Amino acid sequence: MNSQEYDTLDKLLRRIHNLGSVSGLLGWDELVNLPADSADQRAEQSAAMAQVCHAASTDPELGQALNALEANIDSLNEEKRIVVREARKDFDRSAKLPVEYVQRKARLDSAAYHAWAHAKQNSDFSEFAPFLQKQVDAAKEFATYLGWEDRAYDCLIDLHDPGMDAATIDGLFSELKEELVPIVGHIVNASTKPDTSIFRNFPIEEQRAFLNEITAALGFNYKRGRIDESLHPFCGGNGADIRMTTRFDKDNPLDSLFSAIHETGHGMYEQGLPLDQLHNALGQAAGMGAHESQSRLWENQVCRSRAFWNRYESDFRTRFPQQLDGISSDALYLAINSVSKNPIRVDSDEVTYNLHIIIRFEIEKRIFDGSLPIDGVPDAWNSLYDELLDIQPRNDAEGALQDVHWSSGSFGYFPSYCLGNMLAAQLWYTALEQLEGLERDIEKGEFSRLLSWLREAVHSKGKRYPLNALAIEAIGSALSPKALIAYLKERYLPLYTQP
């Protein structure tokens, strides 16, 4: 009986996965290709797909199959029990959401994205504020449906990183902030100053060719993925069809390059999941913190390293001979690892980046505990930037409107970036211990050993473990900021000497 019921579950999960993939492609197209005046139709299309996906996710046959399997759970092997466990969570979550809410939320996401893009262009937070309020209200409504009405923000954090909550993150971030603020102060007050003005007039087509070369060398399979342009870089899809984006600026070639490498880390994680299990928990990522650990490890520990640039500096110079003429290797490497007080998160360096995330976490906490009204967000944002980074954003576009996440109601997502940075550093030091000569591999442009190690340590685990348990399984210890602090000191303090 269990075999038949499991086959039924498997069939229904495949349908949910396929419908979700179609919906994801609609979202990708909206951010990459959609004509400006077609947004209203896309909102209706997205709402229609949301209704279809919700119906599949709450199919009574799915609930019946789960009931039957759970009644005889001990007869299933460990992998099937994991599939049933996670399918139950997803089914119960979907079943608690009224279809009217699901459709309304899909329309809101589309409308809010375009409102955000317009408000950012005009640098006017007041244009976006009503949509942000609607997203906050929708998020609280979502939490109430799921039984988290008194802990709405924890509900959203758990959605992105199962098992995590605001109190746990508070502890990790407090320890990190205590160590990080002095490191930032040391570096920005150092006598050594990188010259980032060298990055001017880098032809976009050559940028595109270079980043395509790098991302393919790292291990991204372009036969199952592609890279395009969007206002805000992202990675969507799954291991069967990955859609990445970056953006280009002739005076900022590192933005397109490292954005592409970051999204490639996400893409390679998805491509490392078991292709025949993408529809169930065995073939799905552990959460956004785990996902960010992969993107940040490749972006930072690997591709900002001296070993990496020992290999690829000559290729970079060949692409841009006039722009880099007369620039020494040391000056180029320092510029690549520039640390500065930049108000823009996605343009910031990896040392200050985590303070950008801590600021967003603090603001989201205040929004959801009711102590910060929506119209107070810009002032709170600017105050925290002044306090932690000694930065005064010049306008809303440089301040509270800079990120796309809130336009889709992705609250509780920002902490994942910093949690991912912590895990990335822990994975990196573990890989160095277990893979003798890893840095020599990187210096030769050989990345397959590291990718294979990550596939065994992280990718192959699918959704078996929540974030902390995954860290223990992969590296033998729980999530901690200590490795990240050690890594940042090791990488950056030698570059920035004091007066």
Q: What residues pair up with 237 in beta bridges, in sequence order?
A: 242
**What would the 3-class secondary structure string for the chain be?**
CHHHHHHHHHHHHHHHHHHHHHHHHHHHHHHHCCCHHHHHHHHHHHHHHHHHHHHHHCCHHHHHHHHHHHHCHHHCCHHHHHHHHHHHHHHHHHHCCCHHHHHHHHHHHHHHHHHHHHHHHHCCHHHHHHHHHHHHHHHHHHHHHCCCCCCHHHHHHHHHCCCCCHHHHHHHHHHHHHHHHHHHHHHHCCCCCCCHHHCCCCCHHHHHHHHHHHHHHHCCCHHHEEEEECCCCCEEEECCEEEEEECCCCCCHHHHHHHHHHHHHHHHHHHHCCHHHCCCHHHCCCCHHHHHHHHHHHHHHHCCCHHHHHHHHHHHHHHCCCCCCCCCHHHHHHHHCCCCCCCCHHHCCCCCHHHHHHHHHHHHHHHHHCCCCHHHHHHHHHHHHHHHHCCCCCCCCCCCCCCCHHHHCCCCCHHHHHHHHHHHHHHHHHHHHHCCCHHHHHHCCCCHHHHHHHHHHCHHHCCCCCHHHHHHHHHCCCCCCHHHHHHHHHHHHHHCCCC
Q: Which of 244, 241, 238 is nearest to 223 (CA)?
A: 241
Active-site residue, from 5, 30, 86, 263: 263
Q: Which of 394, 458, 397 is nearest to 424 (CA)?
A: 458
**263 has catalytic annotation:** yes
Q: Which residues are catalytic?
A: 263
